[in-house]
Amino acid sequence: MVHYQDGGVPGRRRVLTGAAAETTFNDLPKIDFRRLYSNNLSDRQSLAYEMGVACRDGGFFYAADHGVDESLLDDTFDALKRFFNLPKEVKIEVRNQKSPKIRGYKGFLEGKLDPSTRGDLKEGFPMGEDATHTEQNIAITPSTSEPRIFALALNLPETAFDAITTHPMTNVRAVHYPPQESESDVSIGAHTNFCWFTLVCQSHTAQPALEVLNAKGIWVLVHHEQHTFVVNIADFFKLVTERYSTLFSFSPDEDAKVSVLEQFRKKGEVYGELGVGEYFQKRLEIDRMTHLDGEECEKKGALRVGGR
């Protein structure tokens, strides 16, 4: 049995073998995103078809030729390396415990999604639009058009989600995952994302680290593909389609209400609405509760990994 965090509560998936094993993916498809900007509806429909297949099969895919300047992506990674290589005492001056919006530096083991581990072996820096104007606009370029492609993939009018994405909630999270000290360590506990979809741009490493869970309950490695985004659908998309699936995050408007679409509703079932902002805040509070206090971390030696 594989365990993970789904919507802030424990989730699990049985490992299937033999006759019980489902047909599923063993690697991620790469999708040409140049069609995202085409004025030709048939181009956007063909993109929607490929995205729909990828989302139904696994919920993850590579977005290639997405229109984001490759040199800007390279510059962003250079800036991240410079920041994370700073001495610990410099980084903790902007620790996110000082921010009511949970923005700023988050040190090693200050998060713990999987209670069976000693904590998440990563350091990061969640940022808002004011802090990452250039990087935020880079990621927004493809993301603002994606809800329309998702609508086409669901055989809905292209503008079906326009009303709930006029002022979408977006954020950028810079994350550094160092080599792990032991097999019992994890960079981050298994989880689903609390947004509509996420764009992840990975740096090159000798050993792939990102993994996704397929329908058989098997973890599949996500290899580095230069200048591509790894796209995955998340909690809000799961809700509107009633699909159960296992970093730039894109969510509907904060005051939007989302519910299961009519075409996915089952006769006799009662469906409620979920407030996007309320749910987002709930997940943030759950994550905040997993943060160890900065002083407590240092007392326990939890920041030892990041002590440069």
- Successive 10-residue mean pLDDT values, the chain, 308 residues: 62 68 79 94 97 87 90 86 92 84 82 74 76 50 78 92 80 80 68 71 72 80 87 60 37 72 79 71 55 46 33
Q: What is the pLDDT of residue 306?
A: 31
* Encoded tokens for 77: 């990674």
Cβ atoms 192, 235 nearer than 8 A: yes
Give 221-273 as a DSSP string.
E----TT-EEEEE-HHHHHHHT-----EEEEEETT-EE---GGGPPTT-----
Cα first-last separation, the chain? 38
Residues in the chain, total: 308
- Under DSSP, is residue 271 helix (H, G, I), strand (E, B) or coil? coil
Query: Within 10 A of 251 (CB to CB), how many other CB atoms are there?
Result: 27
Which pLDDT belongs to residue 96?
83
Domain 2-306 has CATH 3.40.50.150: no
DSSP string, 100-122: TT--SBB-TTS--SSTTSS-B--
Identify the pLDDT of residue 137: 53
Lookup result for tokens 């415990």: 97
Please report the pLDDT score of residue 48 as a whole number: 96
DSSP state of 23: P
The amino acid that residue 129 corresponds to is E
For the full predicted model, state whether its pTM sits above 0.85: no
Strand ranges (E), the chain: 2-6, 9-13, 30-32, 60-64, 123-127, 168-176, 197-200, 211-213, 219-221, 229-233, 248-253, 257-258, 274-275
Residue 211 corresponds to which tokens in the numbers above? 């993994």
